[in-house]
Amino acid sequence: MGHYDEYKRRVLRITQRLSADGYFGSKSGSAGNVSMLVEDEDAVVVTPTRLRYDVMTVEDICVVGFDLARIEGERKPSIETPMHVATYKVRADVSAVIHTHQTFASALSVLNQPIPPLFDEVTLAIGNTIDVVPYALSGSRELHDNVARKLANRCHCYIIQNHGALCIGTDLDKTFTFVELLEKSATIYMRALATGKPVTVLPAKIVAQLHSEMIARQDREIARKQERHIARIKAVPEAEPSH
């Protein structure tokens, strides 16, 4: 069993589930991408580019370093890999990234319309807003720079203008749930806007409280990673002094 095999299996499982549920925009395409951070390494396990999800295997999943150099895998990694790496560098709480082309979030992307806080359980899970990342060409340096700048709001879901959506989290299963919550919010928001009536949002005091609770969870995850890193350093035996 290879060092990265379990990571690859997890990435493949979530990728094929997202595809089967239609979150990539078409069930026979290859438009979205998924990655997972390798714990204790500056490396990510990520889906390959231009390969249908229904025929993808564990062997097709790629492993690359933060410098984008290939560590394992014969296929070319997703062209959005730099966006994933930029996310991991900026957000220490994040260990999974999912980029989708889900229908209602994508509809809001062409409207350049963020989603305000509508439901308390969604706000507690993903933050106080679903903001819009400014447009840039897929795979470009400008796009992953635009994404990196937006991540400072500490939320877990983003709409990418004229493109799709980005969800990030501490693991793939939680991040899959964020994808679902994003589409729920986008669907209801679009339908509410279509009535022409005012859309009510959560009270500001409640939003601030829920967002703070979410950030506290993130801070605990960051502390866990830091403690693990310190323990790993301490476990390395000191080199014998040279004579």
Q: C-alpha 39: how far from its chain's center? A: 16
- CB-based contacts of 97, cutoff 8 Å, min separation 6: 34, 35, 36, 83, 84, 87, 88, 166, 167, 168, 175
The CA distance from 158 to 128, in Å, is 11
Give ∠ CA 147-151-155 in degrees, rounded to 5: 125
The CA distance from 116 to 128, in Å, is 7
pLDDT of residue 30: 74
Q: Mark 26-53 as b/e (b = at least 16 C-beta within 10 Å).
A: eeeebbbbbbbbbeeeebbbbbbbebeb
Decide: 144 and 88 in contact? Cβ < 8 Å. Answer: no
Domain boundaries defined on the chain: 5-230
Decide: 160 and 107 in contact? Cβ < 8 Å. Answer: no
Q: What is the pLDDT along the chain (243 residues), one digit of tens a residue?
A: 689 999 999 999 999 999 999 999 877 777 899 999 999 999 999 999 999 999 999 999 999 999 999 999 999 999 999 999 999 999 999 999 999 999 999 999 999 999 999 999 999 999 999 999 999 999 999 999 999 999 999 999 999 999 999 999 999 999 999 999 999 999 999 999 999 999 999 999 999 999 999 999 999 999 999 999 899 888 877 655 554
- CB-based contacts of 154, cutoff 8 Å, min separation 6: 91, 127, 211, 214, 215, 218
Start-end of H helices in the chain: 5-20, 81-90, 103-111, 120-126, 141-150, 172-194, 204-235
Q: For residue 181, which of 217, 208, 214 has the smallest C-alpha distance? A: 214
Please say whether the structural domain 5-230 has been given the CATH code 3.30.160.250.
no
pLDDT of residue 241: 57
Q: C-alpha 134: how far from its chain's center? A: 17
Q: For residue 86, which of 133, 124, 132 has the smallest C-alpha distance? A: 133
Which residue's entry shows tokens 């950030």?
Answer: 215
Question: Can 121 be counted among the known catalytic residues?
Answer: no
Q: What's the whole-model pTM score?
A: 0.95
pLDDT of residue 239: 53
pLDDT of residue 31: 85
Catalytic member of 6, 59, 74, 80: 80
CB atoms within 10 A of CB 98: 29
Q: Kindly state the DSSP code that residue 33 receives in the 8-state scheme.
A: E
